[in-house]
Amino acid sequence: MSSRLPSWKELPIGAVILEPGSSRRYKTHEWRTLRPVINQDKCIRCRICWSYCPEPAILEVDKPYVTSTNRRYEITYMVDYDYCKGCGICAQECPVKAIEMVPEVR
Ligand code: SF4
Ligand code: SF4
């Protein structure tokens, strides 16, 4: 089998997006050592984690949730574990400490 590496002239130009949206294919969870877990009962739906996540890997989902104290929310914040890098910014910024970083288990 003969395989030839491309010469530098055949490589695509760096830092140029040739296909918009292609980053969706690059799932960035592989190097995560900690994963954020949202306590839905504690979460006050303030949206801060959603705003701060650099990926963004916090999803705002139209999914009602009723807490153990009978408080009803119409939205739920969830983590997209395909893209979350485990940086912990969301847990750091959550004003009610509803996000816990737990060891990743694969
Ligand atoms: S740990 Fe980092 S990448 Fe993952 S959801 Fe939180 S802020 Fe986003
Ligand atoms: S920052 Fe905390 S309280 Fe606010 S939406 Fe995210 S998990 Fe919920």
The pLDDT tens digits along the chain (106 residues) read 568 899 999 888 887 888 888 888 888 888 899 999 999 999 999 999 999 999 889 999 999 999 999 999 999 999 999 999 999 999 999 999 999 999 998 7
Q: What is the pLDDT of residue 1?
A: 56
> To which residue do tokens 């807490």 refer?
67
Q: What is the pLDDT of residue 2?
A: 61
Residue from 91, 59, 52 nearest 75 by CA: 59
Q: What is the pLDDT of residue 58?
A: 98
* CATH code of the domain occupying 26-103: 3.30.70.20
The residue whose CA has the least distance to atom 6 of ligand 2 is: 49
Q: Write down the pTM of the prediction.
A: 0.84
Q: Which of 35, 37, 38, 71 to mutate to test the pocket of ligand 2 (most atoms within 8 A of CB)?
A: 38
Task: Classify strands 99-103 and 65-66 as parallel, antiparallel or unpaired.
Answer: unpaired
Q: What is the pLDDT of residue 47?
A: 98
Q: Does 46 sit in the ligand 2 pocket, CB within 6 Å? A: yes
Q: Does 55 sit in the ligand 1 pocket, CB within 6 Å? A: yes
Q: Does 57 sit in the ligand 1 pocket, CB within 6 Å? A: yes
The residue whose CA has the least distance to atom 3 of ligand 1 is: 84
What are the domain boundaries of the chain? 26-103
Q: Which spans in the chain are helix H?
A: 48-52, 89-93
In order, the DSSP letters of 33-44 are SEEEEE-TTT--
